[in-house]
Structure 1
Amino acid sequence: MCDNGQNAVAVSLSRRLGQAVRPRVLVVMGVSGCGKSTVAQLMAARMGWSVIEGDDLHPPANIARMSNGIPLTDADRAPWLDRIAAEILAWREQGQCGIVTCSSLRRAYRERISNGHADVCFVYLKGSKEDIAPRLRQRTGHFMPVGMLDSQFATLEEPDMHHEMVMTLDVNAPQAHLAEQACLHLDRLPD
């Protein structure tokens, strides 16, 4: 449990999520460097769910493009989004729960990977360019260069709190606290 004496984490639940049953699949989303992998791993450990790193599902050509500072097009992203959608579908068909990381920058991408299923929820790690750029500069061993952050923010369509299944978390809080608060909110939803 999280210490209630800590500063409150800004957690916003969409209207749809607030009225929904507990999701079976979570997609931790946001621009590169926002903490998707860490928060997903922390949530998966707490909940006992499987986790997939969405970057591992990119075709090699996408990794090469991004490594060279070339933004992906929608055509480049399509096979990657389809692989993520297939993983989500497999979990759902097997009655399993899981968490996948995926930038999910546009609403059309989110619709493509969730396929409209109400038990797929997006966990949006929201932060400004000023919040996230220092993290990217400190990160090592990842293909995404800092210079790509502008293109990520240019592509980003923030989730619609009225029409999408989304929980929004402020990236300025400690990641362990974010994961704990997200899990606590999910625990409050009916089965």
Structure 2
Amino acid sequence: MTNWLALMTSQPTVSNPESSTNLIIVMGVSGSGKSTLAKALGDIYGYEFLDADDFHSAESRALMAKAIPLTDEHRKPWVAAIKQRLQSNDAQNIHTVLAFSGLKKKHRDELRTAGLRTLVLYLDGSKETIGDRMVHRTNHYMPVALLDSQFASMEDPTAEPDVHLLDVRPPVHQVVQQACGLVDKYLNTSTKA
């Protein structure tokens, strides 16, 4: 459940504002539209697109395909591999947009320690809306059966100062427009690709 009071009273910003390399994390449960939005933002801004799913081990992918939720032990090397890639991109001044579930605060915090100027876009929606989307998508290893565990594992990020909420219900082009408004405001992007 979204903490609307905390959202209304906080002033969202970015993490690591002194960094010259930008990172946009598009987070949410499976089926919320992370990859779609992250790819769109990558195209618009000329940022490298990374999908956190690509950093999972074959073992973790096989477990999820069997509708077996991952443990923290499974996620630990996954988050470490993503962080290492982000640090490499930071060293090369490669701006990045990452599609990342971000279910656990400790994992979000670990990626913040990569040191990039970080803006987090949280795709928030009901289980019914997102479940309907998952039923209609193809070629994805994450089954609808894991949606309950995704919602149960999601630690509310709305009190974190670099997190900005986006409602998943509008058409994709409207969500992209809203996301661009936040990127332009908080990451000081002067030009788009």
Report matched runs for 1:96-135 at 5 Å: 96-115=94-113, 117=115, 119-135=117-133
Gaps of 5+ in 1: 1-11
Amino acid at match of 1:177: Q
Aligned pairs for 1:1-191 (under 5 A) are 15-17=11-13, 21=17, 24-115=22-113, 117=115, 119-161=117-159, 163-189=160-186, 191=188
Normalised by the length of structure 2, the TM-score is 0.85
**Is residue 47–residue 183 contact of structure 1 (8 Å, CA) maintained in 2?**
no
Contact 1:62 1:76 in 2 (8 A): yes
- With normalisation by structure 1, the TM-score equals 0.86
SS in 2 for 1:28: strand
Deviations 1:9-59 (A, max 9, x none): xxx796241798597001111000000010001111111111011111110
List gaps (5 residues or longer) in structure 2: 1-6, 189-193
Give, as a single letter, the amino acid of the residue that structure 2 aligns with 1:32: S
Identity of aligned residues (%): 35
Residues 88-112 of structure 1 show CA distances to partners (whole Å, capped at 9, x for unaligned) of: 1112111121101110101111011
1:125 touches 1:170 (CA, 8 Å); kept in 2? Answer: yes
Note the alpha carbon deviations across 1:140-168, whole angstroms, 9 max, x for none. 1100110000000010012133x331111
CA contact 1:43–1:180 (8 Å) conserved in 2? no
Residue pair 1:41, 1:51 contacting (<8 A) in 2 also: yes
Q: How many residues align?
A: 179
CA RMSD of aligned residues (A): 2.2
Amino acid at match of 1:149: L
Larger relative CO (CA 8 A, sep 6+): 1 or 2?
1
Q: 1:85 to 1:75 in 2, by over 3 A?
A: same
